[in-house]
């Protein structure tokens, strides 16, 4: 019979287009500062908006390490290290198989793969011996495990845009059911490569750069929304049983109180309100909460014509009478869509919103699409808004939907993201 233990979030780390530590993230969200910039991918005769982190992370690694590290696992290692340090942990070897790592990514080492194709087709060169280790999807997970001696399950989830959400949810279950004491969970994605732009552009789902201001190219729920904007980054949380955190005197940001996962079984790309609603309901049930208890919902809303309408319908169905007062926003308007890392980033955003008592806004929402009617927090964050429980929702190509629910912890000391966390 599995145990049933409370699970808390004791550490967080983030590299995102709107901030490369928690303090920067809070300030970017509060100010509604857009991290969307103009991308001009090599080979393509086209420009795209993208959620860019305008810096290289290569300087954080030695020249012996770098050949094994695509930009994607580089970001995974750095964001996970932030989270682990933030939790007051470092080396997990003493936990043996009771520490786990749960990772999500869609494309893994996309830049290395892109370079490989150029080397084969254009330069006619041989691959380097490291290429496999740099581009394999579990590279980020494995690199974190090596560096921090995480010796239990080291798992990589690829459930499209729900990847890091299912990673975090499955980590929650492993701790709650008594298999683990502690887990590091999150995701990383670096999709701003010609190849990834090329394939997404073919779906006609990508926004063009806004003619006036590229920073406002991603407009979820808006009548004039024009498609999704890809973004890069990584986000991780440290999860542990509440008892374990109490024993080591660690404060927590929040409880991870619910996880709902449900699949559409409907279409390889088109979302379906029924599957989305089921994941939200299961998340609420898992947390033991009525819909009216949720004080903020961070929506998946990517700003595609069809997806936002389906999600709004799912939210109205699940929240019913509570829907007209439930504050909803999609922060993708500021950071773009981080694919496999998006769910983790948005969970971290939801946690900082709760701990700092503010609700981040959907930026660039001048006029709401009537088909997306909800209680939108539009354009300006709402401050001094205590949140007891919140939900972050994500939905992926292929039909996997995930809802993560967080709750304020009643007894344990509350932790706040006030101290800047070094990325080094």
Partner 1 sequence: MDHAEILTKIRASLSERFGLEADQLAEDARLRELGVDSMHVLEIMLDLESDLGVSLSDLSLPPNPSLGEVTAVITKNLAGQA
Cβ contacts of 126 within 8 Å, gap of 6 or more: 119
> Could you confirm whether 300 is annotated as catalytic?
yes
Q: Which residue number, 89 or 133, has a Cβ lying nearer to partner 1?
A: 133
Residue 128 interacts with partner 1 (CB under 8 A): yes or no? yes
Q: Which residue number, 47 or 128, has a Cβ lying nearer to partner 1?
A: 128
Give the residue, chosen from 68, 92, 102, 397, that forms a contact with partner 1 under the rule CB under 8 A: 68
Intra-chain end-to-end CA distance of the chain, in Å? 42
Give the residue, chosen from 60, 67, 151, 263, that forms a contact with partner 1 under the rule CB under 8 A: 67
Q: Which residue number, 3 or 58, has a Cβ lying nearer to partner 1?
A: 58
Span near partner 1 by CB under 8 A; candidates 83-91, 128-136, 232-240, 407-415? 128-136
With beta carbons less than 8 A apart as the criterion, state whether 65 and 148 touch. no
Residue 64 interacts with partner 1 (CB under 8 A): yes or no? yes
Give the residue, chosen from 129, 211, 370, 386, that forms a contact with partner 1 under the rule CB under 8 A: 129
> Could you confirm whether 39 is annotated as catalytic?
no
Nearest to 183 by CA among 219, 203, 155: 155
**Structure tokens given for 244:** 């374990």
Residue 62 interacts with partner 1 (CB under 8 A): yes or no? yes
What is the smallest separation between the CB atom of 237 and partner 1, expressed in angstroms?
31
Catalytic residue among 337, 376, 389, 409: 337
Give the residue, chosen from 110, 133, 172, 351, that forms a contact with partner 1 under the rule CB under 8 A: 133
Q: Which residue number, 133 or 312, has a Cβ lying nearer to partner 1?
A: 133
Measured distance CA(394)–CA(343) in Å, rounded? 6
With beta carbons less than 8 A apart as the criterion, state whether 317 and 273 touch. yes
Span near partner 1 by CB under 8 A; candidates 14-22, 79-87, 121-129, 155-163? 121-129
Residue 95 interacts with partner 1 (CB under 8 A): yes or no? no
Residue 63 interacts with partner 1 (CB under 8 A): yes or no? yes
Q: Which residue number, 127 or 366, has a Cβ lying nearer to partner 1?
A: 127
Residue 124 interacts with partner 1 (CB under 8 A): yes or no? no
Residue count, binding to partner 1 (CB under 8 A):
10
> Could you confirm whether 161 is annotated as catalytic?
yes
Span near partner 1 by CB under 8 A; candidates 27-35, 58-66, 178-186, 409-417? 58-66
Catalytic residue among 148, 157, 300, 409: 300
Catalytic residue among 161, 218, 252, 372: 161
Q: What torsion, rounded to 10 degrees, do the Cα atoms 82, 358, 191, 217 define?
A: -150
Residue 126 interacts with partner 1 (CB under 8 A): yes or no? yes
The residues that are catalytic are 161, 300, 337
Q: Where on the chain is the footprint of partner 1 (CB under 8 A)?
A: 62-64, 67-68, 126, 128-130, 133
């Amino acid at each position: 019979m599995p145990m049933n233990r409370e699970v808390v979030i004791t550490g967080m780390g983030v590299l995102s287009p709107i901030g490369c530590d928690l303090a920067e993230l809070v300030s970017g969200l509060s100010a509604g500062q857009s991290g969307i910039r103009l991308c001009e991918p090599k080979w393509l005769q086209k420009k795209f908006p993208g959620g860019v982190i305008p810096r290289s992370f290569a300087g954080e690694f030695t020249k012996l390490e770098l050949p094994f590290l695509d930009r994607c696992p580089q970001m995974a290692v750095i964001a996970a290290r932030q989270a682990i340090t933030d939790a007051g942990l470092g080396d997990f070897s003493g936990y043996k198989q009771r520490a786990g790592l749960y990772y999500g990514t869609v494309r893994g080492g996309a830049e290395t793969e892109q370079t490989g194709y150029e080397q084969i087709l254009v330069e006619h060169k041989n691959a380097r011996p490291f290429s496999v280790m740099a581009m394999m999807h579990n590279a980020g997970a494995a690199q974190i495990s090596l560096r921090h001696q995480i010796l239990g399950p080291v798992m990589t989830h690829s459930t499209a845009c729900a990847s890091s959400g299912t990673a975090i949810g499955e980590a929650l279950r492993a701790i709650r059911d008594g298999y683990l004491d502690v887990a590091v969970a999150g995701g990383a994605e670096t999709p701003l490569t010609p190849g990834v732009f090329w394939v997404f552009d073919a779906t006609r789902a990508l926004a063009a750069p806004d003619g006036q201001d590229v920073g406002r190219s991603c407009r979820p729920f808006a009548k004039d929304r024009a498609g999704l904007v890809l973004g890069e980054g990584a986000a991780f949380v440290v999860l542990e049983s509440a008892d374990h955190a109490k024993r080591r005197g660690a404060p927590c940001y929040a409880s991870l109180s619910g996880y709902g996962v449900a699949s559409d079984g409907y279409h390889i790309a088109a979302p379906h309100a029924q599957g989305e609603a089921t994941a939200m309901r299961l998340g609420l049930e898992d947390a033991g909460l009525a819909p009216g208890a949720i004080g903020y919902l961070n929506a998946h809303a990517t700003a595609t014509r069809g997806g936002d309408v389906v999600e709004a319908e799912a939210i109205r169905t699940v929240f019913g009478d509570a829907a007209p007062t439930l504050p909803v926003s999609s922060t993708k308007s500021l950071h773009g869509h981080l694919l496999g890392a998006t769910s983790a980033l948005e969970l971290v955003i939801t946690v900082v919103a709760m701990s700092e008592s503010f609700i981040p806004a959907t930026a660039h929402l001048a006029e709401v699409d009537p088909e997306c009617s909800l209680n939108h927090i539009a354009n300006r964050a709402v401050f001094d808004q205590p949140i007891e429980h919140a939900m972050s929702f994500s939905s992926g190509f292929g039909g996997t939907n995930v809802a993560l629910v967080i709750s304020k912890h009643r007894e344990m000391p509350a932790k706040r993201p006030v101290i800047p966390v070094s990325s080094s």
